[in-house]
C-alpha cells in the first residue's frame, strides 16, 4: 500500500458532507442515501429512538467488525470511515483486494443520541464503553447482538482522545494512539492479543513515514466492563484506535486522513494474512501520556502587588452552539508547569497578566482573552 497513491485517492473520496467535530445521524444519512440500499441496515435504536445504522462491504471469509462514536463527541473516526466507504465503492486495486478477502460490517455511529447532544455518554448518561457486561443500554445491546450474529474474526474499536495526550515524555502530540487490550488482570500476551499487536505494529510502521514520532501506545489496564477488553477475552483480536490532536487541527481534518490510512493499513494486513506475530515492535511504541495543555502562558505575574511569576495552563472545553462546536478557553492550572507542554506557548517574562476587564485569573474561569500589560491577546483557536 503506497501512501502516495492513497493520498491522491483521498482527494477524490473525502466526504464533503462531513466536516469538523459535530457529526450526527442527520449528517451521515446524507452520505448513506447515496449508497446502494443493500449495503445499509438498521441494527437497533438508541434511548431516544434514533436508528443505529450499519454498513456492509466485501464478500471475503475474514470478518471484520468496526464501530465508531461509541462516545458521541468522538467523531473523527466516523469521518474517516465514510472516506473509506467512498473508496470501497470505487473500482480500485487497493479496496478490491481488501473486499475480496474480507467482509466488513461497520457501525459508523453507535451512540447517535450522544452524537446529537455532543456528549461522551448516551441519553441515559451511561458510558457505553463501561457497559459491556451489564448491557443495560439499547446501544450496548445492539453492538453485542451484531457481534454475536456476525461472529467477527477481528474488531476495530474507533475512538478519539483529547488534546492533553503526548508521546512518552516528549514535547510531541499523540496524534494517533493504539491498543491491543488486555483480556485479564495479568495482561497476558494471548494469541489473539498478539495478533492485535502485530496489526498495530504494521500500522505504526506506515505512520512513521508520515508523522514520525507522533504515535503512542494506549494504557492496557484491564477492565472487563470495557467493550474491547470483553471482545478480546472472547478470543477476538480487537484493536483500539484513538484519534488525537494534529498541530492546529482543532477540527480534526488532518488527523481524519491519518485515521483513513490507518484503517486501510489494518485491513490490508488482515487481508494479506497473518502467519506470525511479533510483539516486540508493539512494545517499542512509546506510552500515551497526559502532559499537554492547549495553551501555557509562562512566567506570568498575576498581581500588581506581587513580583512572583507563575505559569497558566489553559484547556479548551467544547460547547455545542447552534450545531457548531465552540472552543472555550478555561484556566485549568496555576502552577509551575516545567514538566508540561503547550500546543501554544507564550513566555511573558514577568509581565502582568490579567483577565477580562482587569479581573484576577483563577482556576476554573472561562476566559476568551488575557491582557498582557494592557494588550488584549485572544485565546480561542
Which of the 8 DSSP states describes residue 301? B
Residue 236's pLDDT is 98
Nine-digit cell string for 225: 466492563
pLDDT tens over the chain, length 381 residues: 788 888 888 989 999 999 999 999 999 999 999 999 999 999 999 999 999 999 999 999 999 999 999 999 999 999 999 999 999 999 889 899 999 999 999 999 999 999 999 999 999 999 999 999 999 999 999 999 999 999 999 999 999 999 999 999 999 999 999 999 999 999 999 999 999 999 999 999 999 999 999 999 999 999 999 999 999 999 999 999 999 999 999 999 999 999 999 999 999 999 999 988 888 999 999 999 999 999 999 999 998 888 999 999 999 999 999 999 999 999 999 999 999 999 999 999 999 999 988 888 999 999 999 999 889 999 999
Residue 4's pLDDT is 85
Beta strands 62-67 and 154-160 are: parallel
CA distances from 345 to 36, 229, 248, 335, 348 (A): 49, 38, 13, 15, 10
Residue 356's pLDDT is 83
Asked whether the CA dihedral 144, 149, 151, 154 is positive or negative, the reply is negative
Q: Give the rounded distance of the alpha carbon of 330 from its chain centre.
A: 22
Residues 343-369 as b/e (b if ≥16 CB within 10 A, e otherwise) read: beebebeebbbbbeeeeebeeeeebee
d(C-alpha 111, C-alpha 51), whole Å: 10
Residue 8's pLDDT is 87
d(C-alpha 309, C-alpha 303), whole Å: 10
Domains observed in the chain: 3-290 (3.40.630.10), 293-378 (2.30.40.10)
Residue 214's pLDDT is 98
Which of the 8 DSSP states describes residue 287? B
The Cα angle at residue 98 between residues 95 and 99, in degrees rounded to 5: 85
Asked whether the CA dihedral 180, 151, 95, 108 is positive or negative, the reply is negative
Residue 37's pLDDT is 96
Q: Are 379 and 329 in contact (CB under 8 A)?
A: yes
Predicted TM-score of the model (pTM):
0.96
Residues 6 or more apart in contact with residue 334 via CB below 8 angstroms: 302, 310, 311, 312, 313, 361, 362, 363
Amino acid at each position: 500500500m503506497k501512501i502516495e497513491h492513497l493520498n491522491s485517492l483521498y482527494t477524490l473520496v473525502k466526504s464533503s458532507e462531513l466536516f469538523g467535530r459535530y457529526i450526527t445521524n442527520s449528517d451521515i444519512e446524507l452520505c448513506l442515501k447515496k449508497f446502494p440500499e443493500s449495503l445499509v441496515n438498521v441494527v437497533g435504536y438508541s434511548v431516544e429512538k434514533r436508528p443505529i445504522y450499519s454498513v456492509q462491504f466485501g464478500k471475503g471469509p475474514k470478518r471484520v467488525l468496526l464501530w465508531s462514536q461509541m462516545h458521541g463527541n468522538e467523531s473523527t473516526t466516523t469521518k474517516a470511515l465514510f472516506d473509506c466507504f467512498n473508496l470501497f465503492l470505487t473500482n480500485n486495486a487497493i479496496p478490491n483486494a481488501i473486499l475480496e478477502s474480507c467482509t466488513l460490517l461497520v457501525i459508523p455511529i453507535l451512540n447517535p443520541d450522544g452524537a446529537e447532544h455532543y456528549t461522551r455518554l448516551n441519553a441515559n448518561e451511561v458510558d457505553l464503553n463501561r457497559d459491556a457486561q451489564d448491557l443495560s443500554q439499547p446501544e450496548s445491546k445492539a453492538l453485542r447482538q451484531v457481534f454475536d450474529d456476525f461472529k467477527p474474526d477481528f474488531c476495530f474499536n474507533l475512538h478519539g482522545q483529547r488534546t492533553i495526550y503526548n508521546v512518552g515524555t516528549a514535547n510531541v502530540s499523540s496524534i494517533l494512539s493504539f491498543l491491543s487490550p488486555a483480556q485479564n488482570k495479568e495482561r497476558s500476551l494471548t494469541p489473539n492479543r498478539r495478533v492485535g499487536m502485530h496489526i498495530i505494529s504494521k500500522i505504526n510502521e506506515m505512520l512513521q513515514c508520515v508523522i514520525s514520532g507522533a504515535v503512542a501506545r494506549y494504557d492496557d489496564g484491564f477492565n472487563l466492563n470495557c467493550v474491547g477488553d470483553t471482545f478480546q477475552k472472547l478470543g477476538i483480536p480487537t484493536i483500539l484506535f484513538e484519534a488525537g490532536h494534529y498541530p492546529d487541527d482543532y477540527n480534526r481534518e488532518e488527523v481524519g486522513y491519518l485515521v483513513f490510512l490507518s484503517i486501510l493499513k489494518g485491513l490490508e494486513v488482515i487481508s494479506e494474512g497473518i502467519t506470525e506475530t511479533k510483539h516486540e515492535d508493539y512494545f517499542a511504541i512509546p506510552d500515551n501520556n497526559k502532559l499537554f495543555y492547549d495553551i501555557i502562558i509562562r512566567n506570568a505575574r498575576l498581581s500588581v502587588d506581587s513580583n512572583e511569576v507563575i505559569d497558566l495552563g489553559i484547556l479548551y472545553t467544547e460547547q455545542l452552539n447552534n450545531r457548531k462546536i465552540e472552543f472555550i478557553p478555561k484556566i485549568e492550572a496555576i502552577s509551575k508547569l516545567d514538566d508540561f507542554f503547550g500546543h501554544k506557548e507564550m513566555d511573558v517574562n514577568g509581565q502582568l497578566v490579567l483577565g477580562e476587564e482587569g479581573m484576577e485569573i483563577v482556576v476554573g474561569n472561562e476566559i476568551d482573552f488575557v491582557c498582557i500589560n494592557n494588550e488584549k491577546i485572544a485565546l480561542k483557536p
